[in-house]
Amino acid sequence: MIDVKGYEGQRVAVLGLGRSGMATARALKAGDAEPLVWDDSAEARDKAEAEGFTIHDLGKQGAFDDVAALILSPGIPHLYPEPNKYVALAWQAGVPVDNDISLFFRSFATQDWDNFDTIPRVVTVTGSNGKSTTSALIHHVLQHVNRPTQLAGNIGVGVLDIDPAIDGEVVVLELSSYQTDLARNLTPDIAVLTNMSPDHLDRHGGFGGYFAAKRRLFAEGGPDRAIVGIDEPEGAYLANQLATSATDDRVIRISTKQKLAGKGWNVFVRKGFLSEYRKGRQAGYIDLREIEGLPGVHNHQNACAAYAVCRSLGLAPRVIEEAFKSFAGLPHRSQTIANINGVRFVNDSKATNVESAACALEAFKNIRWICGGLEKEGGLAGLAPHFDNVKKAYVIGRDARKFALGLEGVDLEICETMEAAVSQAARDAEKGDTVLLAPAAASFDQYDSFEKRGEDFIAQVNAL
């Protein structure tokens, strides 16, 4: 646990008692603050009270009297689509509103560091897509070279639940826009922006607000090194804003859509080959085409970001390549489950929307595609350019027939259940085919989560 500093002897309100809220309350208490906790859920309040925390109704008159700060859980909106009522009361009382990410950055460093040979580093990863895989890949490479490392944030454990740093450790944090938007303290050593596409627009008041939330990670504290995907205008703008000259190597630009020939520090992928250029000269390369845990252009972008981070930490290209080859991928994200008689079975249950499913369809050839579920707004038109890679679709879900209407021109079979889809796809598959679960839909018509859907796919494949 990271003991929160700066609130010793003070009362600090905590709103939202899920994983991050309870971790925050514990970390505040460990730092000799007095946490006052609240959640609209009576069940959550009862659990907190049973753990010994003071329940404090933030809606009562005078609730913010003598309160030093309000720490907000990431799922609670503070501005858009409208301010949370307790946040508005904190504003009226002049009480600063903050979050656990900010508490982490103000509390992570300790006096013990004075005795370290190598100061710990913090790497943060944000972006619209690929955050989890990029974070996990960086963590995997560091583990491969026996560098002390912890993985936290949106992946792994909460930021305040990690252990205090040891000599030379690297902490890798996956951060969402919900977390970067509110934090008052953001001081990573290395910050990554993978890419930008519209997401969480209601929460941020539009795409501009969404980008502004991501940009804060780079603008508020100023990382020693920024690694920025420049395949979208927002990333290109950010990289330009951060660099003071064309040769400023504090900014590493990454791309999967263009060869980067500038005089700075660039990492890009073309036709499956990752290349690193510094001052116009090649400094390293990796053939990504046969790395099973990183299939497709979207994973090649993740590889660019992770490679740039590891190079910034002083690792050699060949060492990074060796670690990449042993990366198994994250569960439910282009995860190879089995190879049976020359047929590959891939679980990408996390592909819950058209954009992510399109990446999966682009990554493989000769696809036996298991798709369907609770269809999201906008339809399936964005998948049409990738239908040539699909030999046949096997549609699951309660409304499988309705979903299938969006797959015009694709040979398909209505299966409804995962068991039927995997069984039929396996019977039809030929050597060289890939049976791919990439639903392009939410799971809630049949499963509690995309994880449960992926686990069912794995179970059915294992049953083969």
The pLDDT assigned to 262 comes to: 86
Predicted confidence band of residue 154 (pLDDT cuts 50, 70, 90): confident
- The residues that bridge with 421 in the sheet, in sequence order, are none
Q: Are residues 259 and 196 in the same domain?
A: yes
Phi, psi (deg, nearest 5) at residue 246: -65, -20
Residue 208: per-residue pLDDT:
96
DSSP letters, 400-447, are: HHHHHTT-TT--EEEEESHHHHHHHHHHH--TT-EEEE--SSBSTTT-
Do 279 and 357 lie in one domain? The reply is: no
71 and 184 share one domain? no
- Cβ atoms of 2 and 162 within 8 Å: the answer is yes
Residue 1 in domain: no
Provide the pLDDT for residue 376. Answer: 81
**Which residues constitute the domain of residue 366?**
335-463
| Per-residue model confidence as pLDDT tens digits over 65-121 | 999 999 999 989 999 999 999 999 999 999 999 999 999 999 999 999 999 999 999
Tell whether 133 is in a known binding site.
yes
| Whether residues 313 and 418 fall in one domain | no
Backbone angles phi, psi at 432, to 5 degrees: 95, -10
Dihedrals phi, psi of 135, to nearest 5 degrees: -60, -45
Give the count of beta carbons closer than 10 Å to the beta carbon of residue 425: 28
Model confidence at 261, pLDDT cuts 50, 70, 90, reads: confident
| Type of residue at 237 | Y
Residues 349, 300 share a domain: no
Per-residue pLDDT for 317 more than 90?
Answer: yes
* 132 in a labelled binding site: yes
Average pLDDT for 331-347: 94
Considering the domain architecture, whether residues 89 and 235 belong to the same structural domain is answered as: no
156 annotated as a binding-site residue:
no
- The residue type found at 199 is D
Could you say which of 69, 98, 127 is where a domain stops? 98
Predicted pLDDT at 349:
96
Mean pLDDT of all residues in the chain? 95
Neighbour-count burial for 321-351, b at 16+ CB within 10 Å, e otherwise: bebbeebebbbbbbbebeeeeebbbbbbbbb
Residue 160 lies in a domain: yes
Claim to verify: residue 142 and residue 289 sit in the same structural domain:
yes
Residues 354, 211 within the same domain: no
Mark out the alpha helices in 121-200 (DSSP H runs).
131-144, 177-180
Q: Are residues 283 and 375 in the same domain?
A: no
Contact 296, 247 (CB under 8 A): no
The per-residue pLDDT for 378 is 76
- Report yes or no on 250 lying in a domain: yes
- Residue 377: pLDDT over 80: no
Q: In the predicted model, is pLDDT for residue 255 greater than 90? A: yes
pLDDT attached to residue 329: 86
CA distance 217 to 94: 25
Q: Is 205 annotated as a binding residue?
A: no
Q: What does DSSP say about strands 121-126 and 343-347: parallel, antiparallel, or unpaired?
A: unpaired
In the numeric block, which tokens belong to residue 51? 């753990």
What pLDDT digit, counting tens, does each position of 211-221 carry? 999 999 999 87
Q: Pick the closest to residue 254 from 363, 120, 125, 360 (CA basis).
A: 125
pLDDT tens figures, 282-310: 999 999 998 989 999 999 999 999 999 99
Is 73 known as a binding-site position? no
What is the CATH number for 79? 3.40.50.720
Across the chain, which distance is largest between two alpha carbons, in Å?
70
| Cβ proximity of 418 and 327 under 8 Å | no
| The pair of three-digit structure tokens given for residue 149, joined into one six-digit string | 């490392």
Neighbouring residues of 134: CB distance < 8 A, sequence distance ≥ 6:
125, 127, 174, 192, 194, 302, 305, 306
Question: CA-CA distance, 166 to 175, in Å (whole number)?
Answer: 22
Structural domains of the chain, count: 3
Question: Are 171 and 222 in a shared domain?
Answer: yes
> What does the alpha-carbon distance between residue 73 and residue 311 come to, in Å, rounded to a whole number?
34
Model confidence over 21-64: pLDDT tens digits?
999 999 999 999 999 999 999 999 999 999 999 999 999 999 99
Q: Indicate if 119 and 261 belong to the same structural domain.
A: yes
Which helix (H) or strand (E) segment holds residue 91: the answer is: helix 85-93
CATH number of the domain that 295 lies in? 3.40.1190.10
Residue among 369, 374, 420, 422 nearest 397 (CA): 374
Residue 3, pLDDT score: 97
Please check whether residue 4 lies inside any domain of the structure.
no
Is 195 annotated as belonging to a binding site? no
User: What residue type is assigned to position 450 of the chain?
Assistant: F
Out of 292, 325, 358, a domain closes at 325
Mean pLDDT of 193-207: 91
- Confidence (pLDDT) at 290: 87
**245 has binding-site annotation:** no
The answer to whether the beta carbons of residues 127 and 226 sit under 8 Å apart is no
Residue % of the chain over a pLDDT of 90: 92
**Do 435 and 386 lie in a common domain?**
yes
> Of 98, 116, 141, which residue constitutes the final position of a domain?
98
d(CA 183, CA 21): 15
**CA distance readout (Å), 150 to 138, 313, 324, 327:** 10, 15, 18, 17
